[in-house]
Structure 1
Amino acid sequence: MSPTYAERASRLSGAVVWTQGAEGGDDAVTVLPDGCMDLLWTEGRLLVAGPDTRAYRSAQGPWVGVRFFPGTAPGLLGVPAYELRDRRVELGDLWSGAEVRRLIERLDAAVDPAAALEDLVLRLAADAPASDPVLRAVVASLAAGRSVSATAEFVGLSARQFHRRALGAFGYGPKTLARILQLQRALALARTGVSFAETAVLVGFADQAHLARDVRALTGESLSRLVRS
């Protein structure tokens, strides 16, 4: 049997709490680029999943994770996103090892590790600086289909400022973030039954072939297979 996956909205604004449990079999889960970073727990380990530029095959569960709203994790974890791009890093490599061991022991002993991990990130958020409203405006603008240049103008940043801020917050430049958010919009629309040709037009691709090329470049899979899965 394939691993079971479930998610719910977190009490942390914009975040998602998810669980992946393995019930027999040894299938892995394909994680697609989404502009986000995650804090992950599995027994005996705490890791940070950096922002992906390509699909990632997750090891078999069980896993518990908190997926942060794009651009918010670096302020909570104290590390710029570009240092973690396309990586899974032990939290103990970023923070004090003794502190991380105490957190792992607490999560390992928790009756509900998902709730315990969410409580941890809520404590981090309470101690962290307020999230930058400019970054949320960037995500909203690009997710709505605005161009990178129009988004930079909308948030009042020069091209150089925009690129520098994007690297620290999202792990890559604004053009890559725009492509990834466009991918997610296309998948969401196609999964509702909208034809691929119409999806391409609505999301801003030149045509269906352009959509297909971008999906395969970012995920290694065809659009039809991703929609079926």
Structure 2
Amino acid sequence: MYEEWPSKLDGAVVWSRTPSTGAVCPVLPDGCMDLLWAGGRLLVAGPDTHGYVPEVRGIRYAGVRFAPGTAPAFLGVPAHELRDLRVELADLWGGAEARRLAERIGGAPDPAAELEAVAQGRAAAAVPPDPLLSEVVRHLDAGGTVAGAADAVGLGARQLHRRSLNAFGYGPKTLARVLRLQRALALVRKGVPYAEAALRAGCADQAHLAREMRDLAGITLGTYEALAAEEIA
């Protein structure tokens, strides 16, 4: 079973997943990065460009999902270095620190809450994320164009691409596609018909949305709906 709720960290989400015997819905690209506690291990999930199915099932997960562009400052590593990867936190923060934090979280009554507390403490001392990139996210998530986003923040195309790689793990065009897909899926989860969801999200038509699901998620809309419903049941 999967649950999530708003974090005390600006724009972040805290989530938990308990072991289930049913099918697992793939983690779909969303522009975000996660700090994970997985059965006693601390991991970092980099920005995805395709659907990811957890390799280890039957264990308890907790996570803090950072808003697009905010995790690199927290982690101290450019997002593109973690693209499509799951890495041990020890590889980024050192083995001793990762073991100390894993023991602290594993010994807490509520690992998700303790993981959030760890993230809050670390974020307070981190360099703030690039404010221009936050504006880029808002522009693209509202359906704006990449060119319009560049104009809005006063960056050239090459500058925007370079800073996007560091912040999001990929260029602004890919981020725009990912955010558009997530807008469509949010509408589908509310029961909006596929064709209407596609148009409202910014796709040309339902066939366009179906292609984006195939390319970015690796599954069909119908399969996604069924798996998502089973996971939260």
Instruction: Supply the distance in 2 between the matched residues of 1:103 and 1:201 (Cα, whole angstroms).
Output: 45
Bigger CA drift: 200-209 or 62-71? 200-209
Partner of 1:30: 26
Unaligned runs of 5+ in 1: none
Tell me the distance in 2 between the aligned counterparts of 1:115 and 1:79.
24
Asked if structure 1 preserves the Cα contact closer than 8 Å seen for 2:9 and 2:120, the reply is yes
Match of residue 161 from structure 1: 159
Q: Secondary structure at the match of 2:190?
A: coil
Q: 1:95, 1:129 → 2: CA distance?
A: 15
- Which residue number in structure 2 is paired with residue 135 of structure 1? 133
Task: Indicate which of 105, 121, 124 corresponds to 1:123.
Answer: 121
Tell me the residue number matched to 2:88: 90
What residue identity is the alignment partner of 1:16?
V
Q: Distance in 2 between matches of 1:105 and 1:5?
A: 23
Kindly indicate whether the alpha-carbon contact (under 8 Å) linking 2:11 and 2:67 is maintained by their aligned counterparts in 1. Answer: yes
Counterpart in 1 of 2:3?
6
User: How far, CA to CA, are the matches of 2:61 and 2:202 in structure 1?
Assistant: 35
State the alpha-carbon separation in 2 of the partners of residues 201 and 26 from structure 1. 32
The letter for the 2-side match of 1:33 is P
What is the match of residue 75 of structure 1? Answer: 73
For residues 152-174 of structure 1, give each alpha carbon's deviation from its aligned partner in whole angstroms, at most 9, with x where no partner exists. 11111100000001000000010
Equivalent in 34, 37, 42 of residue 41 of structure 1? 37
In 2, the alpha carbon distance for the partners of 1:164 and 1:70 equals 15
- The residue aligned with 2:97 is 99
Q: RMSD between aligned alpha carbons?
A: 1.3
Of residues 21, 25, 29, the one that matches 2:18 is 21
Q: Give the drift of 1:109.
A: 1.1
User: Which residue of 54, 58, 64 maps to 2:62?
Assistant: 64
* Contact 2:36 2:64 survives alignment (8 Å): yes
Cα deviation per residue 1:104-157 (whole Å; 9 max; x = unaligned)? 111121111111100000011100122322111111100000011111111111
What is residue 231 of structure 2 aligned with on the other side?
none
Between stretches 77-86 and 183-192, larger displacement belongs to: 183-192
Aligned partner of 1:54: which letter? H
How far 1:212 sits from its partner (Å)?
A: 0.9
Q: Which moved more, 1:26-35 or 1:123-132?
A: 26-35
Report which structure shows greater RCO (CA 8 Å, sep ≥6): 2
Q: Identity percentage over the alignment?
A: 59
Secondary structure at 2:53 match in 1: strand
Greater shift, 83-92 or 57-66, is seen at 57-66
Deviates more, 1:115-124 or 1:197-206: 197-206
Corresponding residue of 1:196 = 194
**Cα distance, 1:126–1:157 mapped onto 2, change above 3 Å:** same
Q: How far, CA to CA, are the matches of 1:142 and 1:171 in structure 2? A: 16
5+ residue gaps, structure 2: 229-233
Deviating more after overlay: 172-181 vs 210-219: 210-219
Distance 2:97 2:67 in 1: 25
**Structure 1 residue 205: deviation in Å?**
1.5
Partner SS state of residue 89, structure 1: strand
> What is the match of residue 184 of structure 1?
182
TM-score of the superposed pair, with normalisation by structure 1: 0.94
In the comparison of the two structures, how many residue pairs are matched?
225
Following the alignment from structure 1 to structure 2, what is the Cα–Cα distance between the partners of residues 102 and 198? 49
